[in-house]
Structure 1
Amino acid sequence: MAGRLLLSCLKNSSCTSIRNCSHLKGPPINFKYGNREIVGYGMNGEAAYMDLEDFPMPAIRFKETTPDIQVVKNKEKGDWKKLSIEEKKILYRASFCQTFAEINAPTGEWKSIAGAVFFGLGISLWMYMFCKHYIYPPLPSSFSEEAQLAQLERMKLLNVNPIWGLNKRT
Protein backbone atom coordinates (compact mmCIF):
# COMPACT_ATOMS: atom_id res chain seq x y z
CA MET A 1 0.00 0.00 0.00
CA ALA A 2 2.84 2.37 0.80
CA GLY A 3 4.40 1.57 -2.56
CA ARG A 4 1.16 2.39 -4.38
CA LEU A 5 0.87 5.66 -2.49
CA LEU A 6 4.42 6.56 -3.38
CA LEU A 7 3.87 5.72 -7.04
CA SER A 8 0.65 7.72 -7.20
CA CYS A 9 2.43 10.62 -5.53
CA LEU A 10 5.31 10.52 -8.00
CA LYS A 11 2.97 10.18 -11.02
CA ASN A 12 1.01 13.22 -9.92
CA SER A 13 2.35 16.29 -11.74
CA SER A 14 2.00 18.53 -8.68
CA CYS A 15 4.34 16.29 -6.67
CA THR A 16 7.91 17.15 -7.59
CA SER A 17 9.35 15.36 -4.56
CA ILE A 18 8.13 13.24 -1.67
CA ARG A 19 8.33 16.19 0.72
CA ASN A 20 5.95 18.27 -1.39
CA CYS A 21 3.43 15.45 -1.87
CA SER A 22 0.08 16.43 -0.37
CA HIS A 23 -1.03 12.77 -0.22
CA LEU A 24 1.42 11.92 2.55
CA LYS A 25 0.33 12.67 6.08
CA GLY A 26 2.38 14.45 8.70
CA PRO A 27 4.46 17.59 8.72
CA PRO A 28 7.25 18.08 6.20
CA ILE A 29 10.74 16.98 7.18
CA ASN A 30 12.05 20.51 7.73
CA PHE A 31 9.12 21.47 10.01
CA LYS A 32 10.12 22.48 13.56
CA TYR A 33 8.45 22.00 16.93
CA GLY A 34 9.39 25.16 18.74
CA ASN A 35 13.03 25.41 17.84
CA ARG A 36 13.58 21.63 17.68
CA GLU A 37 14.22 20.07 14.31
CA ILE A 38 12.34 17.09 12.96
CA VAL A 39 15.09 14.77 11.79
CA GLY A 40 13.19 11.62 10.85
CA TYR A 41 9.93 9.76 10.55
CA GLY A 42 9.66 8.62 14.16
CA MET A 43 7.83 5.72 15.68
CA ASN A 44 4.35 5.39 14.12
CA GLY A 45 4.99 8.54 12.10
CA GLU A 46 4.61 10.83 15.11
CA ALA A 47 7.00 13.67 15.73
CA ALA A 48 7.72 12.93 19.37
CA TYR A 49 10.82 12.40 21.49
CA MET A 50 11.19 9.18 23.47
CA ASP A 51 14.28 7.42 24.79
CA LEU A 52 13.67 3.81 23.80
CA GLU A 53 16.27 1.10 23.34
CA ASP A 54 14.25 -0.71 20.68
CA PHE A 55 13.67 2.53 18.72
CA PRO A 56 16.92 4.48 19.12
CA MET A 57 16.28 7.29 16.62
CA PRO A 58 13.53 9.70 17.74
CA ALA A 59 11.83 11.93 15.20
CA ILE A 60 12.83 15.24 16.78
CA ARG A 61 15.91 16.47 18.56
CA PHE A 62 15.94 16.58 22.36
CA LYS A 63 17.02 20.19 22.80
CA GLU A 64 16.16 23.35 20.95
CA THR A 65 18.88 24.84 18.81
CA THR A 66 20.54 27.61 20.80
CA PRO A 67 23.29 29.89 19.48
CA ASP A 68 26.06 27.94 21.25
CA ILE A 69 24.74 24.63 19.91
CA GLN A 70 24.46 26.19 16.45
CA VAL A 71 28.15 27.08 16.57
CA VAL A 72 29.05 23.45 17.26
CA LYS A 73 26.63 22.26 14.54
CA ASN A 74 28.35 24.51 12.01
CA LYS A 75 31.68 23.09 13.13
CA GLU A 76 30.20 19.58 12.77
CA LYS A 77 29.74 20.09 9.03
CA GLY A 78 33.51 20.09 8.64
CA ASP A 79 36.04 17.49 9.70
CA TRP A 80 34.93 15.51 12.77
CA LYS A 81 38.54 14.95 13.81
CA LYS A 82 38.78 18.65 14.62
CA LEU A 83 35.91 18.39 17.15
CA SER A 84 36.87 17.91 20.78
CA ILE A 85 35.29 15.26 22.99
CA GLU A 86 33.30 17.95 24.79
CA GLU A 87 31.90 19.29 21.52
CA LYS A 88 30.88 15.77 20.49
CA LYS A 89 29.14 15.36 23.84
CA ILE A 90 27.33 18.67 23.34
CA LEU A 91 26.14 17.50 19.93
CA TYR A 92 25.01 14.15 21.35
CA ARG A 93 23.14 15.76 24.26
CA ALA A 94 21.46 18.19 21.87
CA SER A 95 20.01 15.25 19.96
CA PHE A 96 19.49 12.69 22.75
CA CYS A 97 18.60 12.89 26.43
CA GLN A 98 20.09 9.58 27.60
CA THR A 99 22.74 7.15 26.50
CA PHE A 100 22.01 3.42 26.22
CA ALA A 101 23.76 2.87 29.55
CA GLU A 102 21.52 5.46 31.20
CA ILE A 103 18.40 3.94 29.61
CA ASN A 104 19.29 0.45 30.86
CA ALA A 105 20.39 1.58 34.33
CA PRO A 106 18.18 0.33 37.18
CA THR A 107 15.82 2.99 38.42
CA GLY A 108 14.58 1.40 41.64
CA GLU A 109 11.00 1.54 40.37
CA TRP A 110 10.50 -2.07 41.47
CA LYS A 111 10.52 -0.92 45.09
CA SER A 112 7.44 1.27 44.68
CA ILE A 113 5.68 -1.47 42.69
CA ALA A 114 6.47 -4.08 45.36
CA GLY A 115 5.30 -1.66 48.06
CA ALA A 116 2.00 -1.07 46.26
CA VAL A 117 1.47 -4.82 45.78
CA PHE A 118 2.13 -5.58 49.47
CA PHE A 119 -0.10 -2.68 50.51
CA GLY A 120 -2.91 -4.09 48.36
CA LEU A 121 -2.37 -7.58 49.78
CA GLY A 122 -2.48 -6.19 53.33
CA ILE A 123 -5.72 -4.30 52.68
CA SER A 124 -7.33 -7.37 51.11
CA LEU A 125 -6.22 -9.55 54.06
CA TRP A 126 -7.75 -7.10 56.53
CA MET A 127 -10.97 -6.99 54.49
CA TYR A 128 -11.13 -10.80 54.50
CA MET A 129 -10.60 -10.94 58.25
CA PHE A 130 -13.27 -8.27 58.82
CA CYS A 131 -15.78 -10.13 56.64
CA LYS A 132 -14.95 -13.49 58.27
CA HIS A 133 -15.41 -12.10 61.77
CA TYR A 134 -18.34 -9.69 61.39
CA ILE A 135 -20.27 -10.56 58.21
CA TYR A 136 -20.13 -14.28 57.47
CA PRO A 137 -22.31 -16.56 59.66
CA PRO A 138 -20.57 -19.33 61.62
CA LEU A 139 -19.99 -22.62 59.80
CA PRO A 140 -22.57 -25.37 60.32
CA SER A 141 -21.79 -28.13 62.79
CA SER A 142 -21.45 -30.66 59.95
CA PHE A 143 -18.09 -29.05 59.03
CA SER A 144 -16.40 -30.32 62.18
CA GLU A 145 -14.13 -33.37 61.88
CA GLU A 146 -16.21 -35.43 64.32
CA ALA A 147 -19.39 -34.81 62.30
CA GLN A 148 -17.65 -35.77 59.04
CA LEU A 149 -16.35 -39.04 60.57
CA ALA A 150 -19.83 -39.82 61.91
CA GLN A 151 -21.31 -39.19 58.46
CA LEU A 152 -18.75 -41.55 56.88
CA GLU A 153 -19.63 -44.31 59.39
CA ARG A 154 -23.32 -43.88 58.63
CA MET A 155 -22.62 -44.13 54.89
CA LYS A 156 -20.80 -47.42 55.52
CA LEU A 157 -23.67 -48.80 57.55
CA LEU A 158 -26.21 -47.85 54.86
CA ASN A 159 -23.98 -49.40 52.15
CA VAL A 160 -23.90 -46.19 50.08
CA ASN A 161 -22.44 -46.67 46.59
CA PRO A 162 -21.58 -50.36 47.04
CA ILE A 163 -20.08 -50.93 43.55
CA TRP A 164 -17.34 -48.35 43.76
CA GLY A 165 -17.53 -48.33 47.53
CA LEU A 166 -16.19 -46.27 50.31
CA ASN A 167 -12.83 -46.72 51.87
CA LYS A 168 -13.15 -49.72 54.26
CA ARG A 169 -9.94 -48.95 56.15
CA THR A 170 -11.37 -46.22 58.41
Structure 2
Amino acid sequence: MASLMRLSVRRAASNVSKTPKRNFHDKLYADRLDYPAPNCRFMKEADLSSDMQALKVKERGDWKALSQAEKKELYRMSFNKTYSEMRAPTGEWKYIIGGVSIALAFSAVIYGFQKAYISPPLPHTMSPEWQEAQLRREIAIRNGPVTGTASKWDYEKNEWKK
Protein backbone atom coordinates (compact mmCIF):
# COMPACT_ATOMS: atom_id res chain seq x y z
CA MET A 1 0.00 0.00 0.00
CA ALA A 2 2.81 2.40 0.89
CA SER A 3 4.64 1.66 -2.36
CA LEU A 4 1.45 2.38 -4.31
CA MET A 5 1.13 5.76 -2.57
CA ARG A 6 4.78 6.59 -3.28
CA LEU A 7 4.31 5.69 -6.92
CA SER A 8 1.20 7.87 -7.25
CA VAL A 9 2.94 10.79 -5.51
CA ARG A 10 5.93 10.50 -7.84
CA ARG A 11 3.67 10.33 -10.87
CA ALA A 12 1.71 13.39 -9.73
CA ALA A 13 4.93 15.31 -9.02
CA SER A 14 6.32 14.50 -12.45
CA ASN A 15 3.07 15.66 -14.12
CA VAL A 16 3.16 18.96 -12.25
CA SER A 17 6.60 19.79 -13.58
CA LYS A 18 5.51 19.02 -17.17
CA THR A 19 2.50 21.36 -17.17
CA PRO A 20 3.21 24.59 -19.03
CA LYS A 21 3.50 27.73 -16.96
CA ARG A 22 0.72 30.19 -17.66
CA ASN A 23 1.64 33.81 -17.72
CA PHE A 24 -0.40 36.96 -17.20
CA HIS A 25 -1.35 37.45 -20.85
CA ASP A 26 -2.69 33.93 -21.43
CA LYS A 27 -6.02 34.97 -19.95
CA LEU A 28 -8.75 35.58 -22.47
CA TYR A 29 -9.66 39.22 -22.87
CA ALA A 30 -13.36 40.09 -22.93
CA ASP A 31 -15.16 43.43 -22.91
CA ARG A 32 -17.98 43.17 -20.38
CA LEU A 33 -20.20 45.85 -18.90
CA ASP A 34 -20.35 44.08 -15.53
CA TYR A 35 -16.53 43.86 -15.36
CA PRO A 36 -15.38 47.01 -17.18
CA ALA A 37 -11.66 46.94 -16.41
CA PRO A 38 -10.13 43.48 -16.83
CA ASN A 39 -6.72 42.88 -15.29
CA CYS A 40 -5.09 42.25 -18.65
CA ARG A 41 -4.72 44.52 -21.66
CA PHE A 42 -6.34 43.99 -25.03
CA MET A 43 -3.02 44.01 -26.88
CA LYS A 44 -0.03 42.07 -25.60
CA GLU A 45 3.35 43.76 -25.32
CA ALA A 46 4.78 41.42 -27.95
CA ASP A 47 2.12 42.43 -30.49
CA LEU A 48 2.85 46.16 -30.31
CA SER A 49 4.47 47.86 -33.27
CA SER A 50 7.42 50.21 -32.85
CA ASP A 51 5.10 53.26 -33.02
CA MET A 52 2.92 51.81 -30.30
CA GLN A 53 5.93 51.00 -28.12
CA ALA A 54 7.15 54.60 -28.50
CA LEU A 55 3.68 55.77 -27.48
CA LYS A 56 3.82 53.49 -24.41
CA VAL A 57 7.09 55.16 -23.42
CA LYS A 58 5.50 58.57 -23.94
CA GLU A 59 2.55 57.45 -21.78
CA ARG A 60 4.77 57.34 -18.69
CA GLY A 61 5.29 61.10 -18.93
CA ASP A 62 2.87 64.01 -18.62
CA TRP A 63 -0.55 63.23 -20.10
CA LYS A 64 -1.12 66.90 -20.90
CA ALA A 65 1.58 66.58 -23.54
CA LEU A 66 -0.35 63.79 -25.31
CA SER A 67 -2.73 64.66 -28.13
CA GLN A 68 -6.33 63.46 -28.22
CA ALA A 69 -5.48 60.94 -30.96
CA GLU A 70 -2.61 59.52 -28.89
CA LYS A 71 -4.89 59.14 -25.87
CA LYS A 72 -7.41 57.27 -28.03
CA GLU A 73 -4.63 55.05 -29.36
CA LEU A 74 -3.53 54.26 -25.79
CA TYR A 75 -7.14 53.45 -24.88
CA ARG A 76 -7.40 51.07 -27.85
CA MET A 77 -4.23 49.30 -26.71
CA SER A 78 -5.85 48.59 -23.35
CA PHE A 79 -9.49 48.03 -24.34
CA ASN A 80 -11.14 46.69 -27.45
CA LYS A 81 -14.45 48.56 -27.18
CA THR A 82 -15.77 51.69 -25.50
CA TYR A 83 -18.85 51.63 -23.26
CA SER A 84 -21.06 52.95 -26.04
CA GLU A 85 -19.75 50.26 -28.41
CA MET A 86 -20.46 47.57 -25.81
CA ARG A 87 -24.02 48.86 -25.30
CA ALA A 88 -24.75 49.19 -29.03
CA PRO A 89 -27.37 46.75 -30.35
CA THR A 90 -25.90 43.79 -32.15
CA GLY A 91 -28.98 42.43 -33.91
CA GLU A 92 -28.57 39.08 -32.16
CA TRP A 93 -32.30 39.04 -31.36
CA LYS A 94 -33.03 38.37 -35.04
CA TYR A 95 -31.09 35.11 -34.93
CA ILE A 96 -32.80 34.08 -31.69
CA ILE A 97 -36.31 34.78 -33.03
CA GLY A 98 -35.44 33.02 -36.29
CA GLY A 99 -34.07 29.97 -34.48
CA VAL A 100 -37.10 29.72 -32.21
CA SER A 101 -39.44 30.08 -35.22
CA ILE A 102 -37.60 27.33 -37.11
CA ALA A 103 -37.74 25.06 -34.05
CA LEU A 104 -41.50 25.66 -33.65
CA ALA A 105 -42.14 25.02 -37.35
CA PHE A 106 -40.10 21.82 -37.22
CA SER A 107 -42.05 20.69 -34.13
CA ALA A 108 -45.36 21.43 -35.89
CA VAL A 109 -44.30 19.35 -38.91
CA ILE A 110 -43.31 16.43 -36.68
CA TYR A 111 -46.61 16.68 -34.78
CA GLY A 112 -48.61 16.74 -38.01
CA PHE A 113 -46.70 13.75 -39.38
CA GLN A 114 -47.30 11.77 -36.19
CA LYS A 115 -50.96 12.74 -36.11
CA ALA A 116 -51.48 11.71 -39.74
CA TYR A 117 -49.37 8.55 -40.04
CA ILE A 118 -48.30 7.21 -36.65
CA SER A 119 -51.01 7.74 -34.04
CA PRO A 120 -53.90 5.26 -34.03
CA PRO A 121 -57.43 6.43 -34.87
CA LEU A 122 -59.63 7.70 -32.06
CA PRO A 123 -61.75 5.08 -30.27
CA HIS A 124 -65.44 4.78 -31.17
CA THR A 125 -66.36 6.18 -27.75
CA MET A 126 -65.17 9.63 -28.90
CA SER A 127 -67.86 9.93 -31.59
CA PRO A 128 -70.70 12.41 -30.91
CA GLU A 129 -73.34 9.67 -31.32
CA TRP A 130 -71.72 7.51 -28.65
CA GLN A 131 -71.39 10.43 -26.25
CA GLU A 132 -75.06 11.36 -26.77
CA ALA A 133 -76.10 7.76 -26.05
CA GLN A 134 -73.89 7.72 -22.94
CA LEU A 135 -75.53 10.92 -21.66
CA ARG A 136 -79.03 9.42 -22.18
CA ARG A 137 -77.92 6.30 -20.29
CA GLU A 138 -76.64 8.37 -17.34
CA ILE A 139 -79.97 10.20 -17.21
CA ALA A 140 -81.90 6.93 -17.43
CA ILE A 141 -80.02 5.30 -14.52
CA ARG A 142 -80.15 8.58 -12.53
CA ASN A 143 -76.35 8.79 -12.26
CA GLY A 144 -75.20 11.44 -9.74
CA PRO A 145 -78.51 12.60 -8.25
CA VAL A 146 -76.88 15.19 -5.93
CA THR A 147 -74.21 16.91 -8.02
CA GLY A 148 -73.93 14.79 -11.18
CA THR A 149 -75.86 14.52 -14.41
CA ALA A 150 -79.18 13.49 -12.80
CA SER A 151 -79.20 16.63 -10.63
CA LYS A 152 -79.29 18.81 -13.75
CA TRP A 153 -82.12 16.90 -15.51
CA ASP A 154 -85.80 17.54 -14.81
CA TYR A 155 -87.42 14.07 -14.93
CA GLU A 156 -91.00 15.42 -14.86
CA LYS A 157 -90.58 17.69 -17.91
CA ASN A 158 -87.89 15.58 -19.65
CA GLU A 159 -85.57 18.54 -20.21
CA TRP A 160 -82.52 20.19 -18.63
CA LYS A 161 -83.18 22.30 -15.56
CA LYS A 162 -82.95 26.04 -16.05
TM-score normalised to structure 2 length: 0.72
| 2:145 equivalent to 1:162 | yes
Tell me the alpha carbon deviations over residues 145-170 of structure 1, each in whole angstroms, 9 at most, x when there is no partner.
33222211210111112222323227
Partner of 1:114: 97
Task: State the SS of the aligned residue for 1:33.
Answer: helix
After TM superposition, the structure 1 stretch with the greater mean CA deviation from structure 2, 112-121 or 140-149, is 140-149
| Structure number having the greater helix percentage | 2
Moved over 6 A (4+): none
Partner of 1:50: 30
Rounded Cα–Cα distance in structure 1 between residues aligned with 2:102 and 2:77: 41
Residue 97 of structure 1: aligned partner: 80
Q: Which residue is equivalent to 2:60? A: 77
**SS, match of residue 76 in structure 2:** helix
Q: Tell me how far apart the structure 2 counterparts of residues 102 and 161 of structure 1 sit (CA, whole Å).
A: 70
Distance 2:87 2:128 in 1: 57
Q: Which residue does 2:157 correspond to in 1?
A: none
Give the gaps of 5 or more residues in structure 1: 1-25, 35-46
> Aligned Cα RMSD in Å?
2.0
Query: What is the rounded CA distance, in whole Å, between the counterparts of 2:75 and 2:140 in structure 1?
Result: 87
Of 98-107 and 64-73, more deviation after overlay is shown by 64-73
Give the aligned partner of residue 16 of structure 1. none
Structure showing greater Rg: 2
Counterpart code for 2:103: G
Matched, 1:61 2:44: no
- Asked whether the 8 Å contact 1:48–1:58 carries over to 2, the reply is no
Flag the 1:32–1:70 CA change in 2: closer, same or farther, 3 A.
farther
| Shift in Å, 1:102 | 0.9
Aligned counterparts of 1:98 and 1:106: Cα–Cα separation in 2 = 13
Gaps of 5+ in 2: 1-20, 154-159
When normalised by structure 1's length, the TM-score is: 0.69
- What is the one-letter code of the residue matched to 2:143? V
Partner of 1:21: none
